[in-house]
Amino acid sequence: MSSKFILFLLLFSLLVPAVIAQSQELPQELNALYPQATAVEAENITYWRIDGADDARYIGLLSARGMEGEIKGYVVLDEDFKIVNVMITEQHETPGLGSRITEEQFLQQFEGLSAEEIALSSEGGSIDAITYATISSSAVVTGVNDTIDAIKSAESAGGFGYLTVVGVFGLIAIAFGIGLSVAATKFAVQRDERVNKVFELLPHQNCGACGFAGCEAYAEALVEKPDLLGSCRITPNSAAKEIAQILGTEAGANLPMVAQMKCGDGCKPKYEYSGIKTCKAAAQVVNGPLMCDYGCLGFGDCIEKCKFDAMFINELGIVEIDEERCTGCGACVPACPKNLISLFERDYKVMIKCSSKDIGVFVTRNCENGCNACRRCVKACENHGANAITIVDYLAVIDYSKCDSCYDCVAVCPRGGGGTIKKINQIKKMVEA
């Protein structure tokens, strides 16, 4: 807490003065004449005190409502609040008439005058109005007088200088910081020291597949509920055993897994989709733009969830998984609206690259490579003596407890592109034993 507090104060002391200074910057002409001017904050006005100048003591902002819009400028005063100079920096008055308030001949009339003398000559004062521009002339007179009155009031009340304002903000920040530090110390909730130990043993990938926001949140949950230990599939078995010892429990074996896409290429298009480019959105429009309602839509919702760059869109427009990079975390599985991704043990050697539950005639019509339940793989497996393949809902299903990876089923599959049954896990990437 203390280091963050100190950092906050440093940033505050650097940024606040810069912001205030930027908002109180004098125009170049005045800044060149009075570089020693210091900004002053008062209740109703911002003005500048000038130290070391022979002819001037104050600079105030001029603001008045003219004939056509707002008139802005600056008024320079001496120590007796008499006019040294008046500058108009912005006006929108009628060209050739009211716009002449910026002319030197008009503004010179103010020099040396006190507030009591500043009025139009028609009202007993010393300022001659511009011909046919009485309203504009009167607005400048009013603005100058308002500026003088505001500076006088502020000086009599004791205006706060720029450094004083920054100092006040700084003291407020320090007071708040001290209060927060005391509160944090007094009301601090002691953290179980086991959380840090568990966190250090986790993979620090923050993939979210465990169901928590990240590895630190998962570590906190593990300390509260040790039975969650198996939720992280990419924690090495050696690390899981150490975590189990810390938590006083036992760790089961963490089988090495890999994600597989249960869809091959070959799905024919149903229509041209031009909506939001996500699988979730596309699946809402009559089950997606493919003839096969069980095909990969190829917009990559699952890819966004993968923290290991193990997924990509191949040249056929569907998601492909790099078995070497895949850690089997499972974050991609719930991201697929078609439920086409599953985790397989790395010991498995074959899989059905199809998820369609349509009858064979429709599969043949909709996809070049989908499983049409021809039963050739079932017969080949029966002939081999394994009996590991059955047909469920018009789709071949492998019982991996019976499969001995003879690959007879791969050889007999008649579907295009090398068959629906594919060899998998040819790259050995095992989780640390």
* Pair 99, 150 in one domain: yes
**Residue 67 gets which letter from DSSP?**
S
Cα distance between the two ends of the chain: 40
> Which H helix or E strand runs over 243?
helix 237-247
pLDDT tens, residue by residue, 305-344: 998 999 999 988 899 999 889 989 999 999 999 999 999 9
Distance CA 146, CA 166 (A): 27
Query: Is the CB of residue 381 less than 8 Å from the CB of residue 408?
Result: yes
Measured distance CA(218)–CA(233) in Å, rounded: 12
pLDDT on residue 39? 84
Query: Residue 22 above 50 pLDDT?
Result: no
The helix (run of H) or strand (run of E) holding residue 88 is strand 83-90
User: For the segment 223-235, what is each residue's pLDDT rounded down to a tens digit?
Assistant: 888 888 888 888 8
Cβ atoms of residues 353 and 422 within 8 Å: yes
Do residues 325 and 240 both lie within one domain? no
**Segments forming the whole domain that contains residue 300:** 257-423
Residue at which a domain ends, from 247, 270, 285: 247
Same domain, 226 and 336: no
Render 401-417 in DSSP notation, one character per residue.
TT-----HHHHH--STT
Contact 385, 391 (CB under 8 A): no
Least confident of 101-105, 151-155, 283-287, 393-397: 151-155
At 72, the amino acid letter reads K
Angle formed at CA 233 by CA 314 and CA 210, multiple of 5 degrees:
95
Q: What is the CATH number of the domain that holds 307?
A: 3.30.70.20
Q: 430 in a domain, yes or no? A: no
C-alpha–C-alpha distance, residues 250 and 241, integer Å: 7
Cα 366 from Cα 290, distance rounded (Å): 8
- Closest C-alpha to 56, from 81, 31, 26, 73: 81
The Cα 192–Cα 189 span in angstroms is: 9
Asked, for residue 110, whether it belongs to a domain, the answer is yes
pTM (global) more than 0.85: no
Does the pLDDT at position 162 exceed 70? Answer: no
Q: In which band, very low, low, confident or very high, does the pLDDT at 29 lie, cut at 50, 70 and 90?
A: confident
Q: Is residue 180 part of a domain?
A: no
Total number of domains constituting the chain:
3
Tell me what the pLDDT averaged over the chain comes to. 84
Beta bridge pairs of residue 313:
319
Pair 304, 388 in one domain: yes
The two counts, helices (H) then strands (E), for the chain are: 13, 14
Residue 214 belongs to domain with CATH number:
1.10.15.40
- As given in the structure block, the two tokens for residue 200 are 């250090």
Are 224 and 271 within one domain? no
* Rg of the chain over all Cα atoms, to the nearest angstrom: 40
User: Do residues 156 and 238 both lie within one domain?
Assistant: no
Task: Give the confidence band of 130 by pLDDT, cuts at 50, 70, 90.
Answer: very high
79-96 in b/e form (b: 16+ CB < 10 A) is eebbbbbbbbeebebeee
pLDDT tens-place string over residues 72-124: 999 999 989 999 999 999 999 999 999 999 999 999 999 999 988 999 999 98
**Residue 113 shares a structural domain with residue 197:** no
Reply yes or no on whether the pLDDT at 431 is more than 60. no
Asked if 230 contacts 332 with a C-beta cutoff of 8 angstroms, the reply is no
